[in-house]
Amino acid sequence: MMINTTEITHFTLSPYFDTGAYGYLYFLIILTSYAAIICANLLLIVVICVNRSLHEPMYMFLCSLFVNELYGSTGLFPFLLLQILSDVHTVSVSFCFLQVFCVYTYACVEFINFVVMSYDRYYAICWPLQYKSCMTLKTVTTLISLTWLLPFIMIVVLISLSAPLQLCGNVINKVFCGNYAIIKLACSDTRVHNIFGLIYTFISVIIPLVLILYTYVRILKVCFSGSKQTRQKAVSTCTPHLASILNFFFGCCFQILQSRFDTSGVPNVFGILSSLYFLTCQPLFTPLLYGLKMTKIRIACKQLFCVCFSFMSNIYRNYLFIRH
């Protein structure tokens, strides 16, 4: 049986609908969210980098997490803003695969970063005497490097398998490009791609979740058998981490379910919101959660604000003095 195929030069994103007069309102809401994400994450990155008391493994891993939030949101928000104001919701094939690379590496780096942070908390709480000798600068640098390098390698392999596929259509039922959405358009055999997709999901989602669960079971055992001070330390440092993991995990579940199953019966607006959840809520939720819950970061932020306010006040007073 011969299948007629044509060379696909662009994809059409079908979930976008005519927003009419509300388009500018949606644009403003998303632009405000993006600005808040940039400001919140950049602020905490600057606070951790400037304050020497925060040059510890836990905060270095947090800094890596905040950088990833900026990276992931930048892979989506400018594109989303452009699509909202545009009348034609199409994207070139090359840009589509670039977005797949950004979104998938963001998700994978996020999960691996959470594993590394769990490992760090496990040693800090369960093996406090060996912690400093284990979490050296070399170890921290190696872990952060692997956190970023492994996802990049996996996604390059994923895209190199998907890019040569012969496609019979160009309509993607998502508000941004997804690898599985492109594979579903293929005319040729995709068994290898589906198998590698499952392997990728297993490595990037299932294994990290099992490792996180293991470390926190061990942490809980130490907490229940330890002193009140140990329990308080564990709660103060682990609560934001667990909340952030759960938020991101549920966002990824929405994304996987929408990609793998037929969602034609689901309202269009709900489908859009669920697909955007882990790329919009997580980058905003994480810095706010850590900024409010972790005492050292809160104090460092206040100190930075005080220094900035004092500096601006001095400039203003000098300006008034010169004028008079």
pLDDT 10s digits, 204-218: 888 888 888 888 888
- Global confidence as pTM: 0.84
Mean pLDDT of the chain: 80
CATH 1.20.1070.10 is right for the domain spanning 10-250+278-318: yes
Categorize the per-residue pLDDT at 3 as very low, low, confident or very high, splitting at 50, 70 and 90: very low
Q: Three-class SS string for the chain?
A: CCCCCCCCCEEEECCCCCCHHHHHHHHHHHHHHHHHHHHHHHHHHHHHHHCHHHCCHHHHHHHHHHHHHHHHHHCCHHHHHHHHHCCCCEEEHHHHHHHHHHHHHHHHHHHHHHHHHHHHHHHHHHCCCCHHHHCCHHHHHHHHHHHHHHHHHHHHHHHHHHCCCCECCCEECCCCCCHHHHHCCECCCCHHHHHHHHHHHHHHHHHHHHHHHHHHHHHHHHHHHCCHHHHHHHHHHHHHHHHHHHHHHHHHHHHHHHHHCCCCCCCHHHHHHHHHHHHHHHHHHHHHHHHHHCHHHHHHHHHHHHHHHHHHHHHHHHHHHHHC
What are the residue boundaries of the structural domains of the chain, listed by start? 10-250+278-318
pLDDT(296) > 60: yes
**pLDDT tens readout for residues 149-171:** 999 998 999 899 888 888 888 88
Check whether 132 has a pLDDT greater than 70: yes
Report, as an integer, the average pLDDT of 247-259. 75
Percent of the chain with pLDDT over 70: 78
Is the pLDDT at 270 greater than 80, yes or no?
A: no
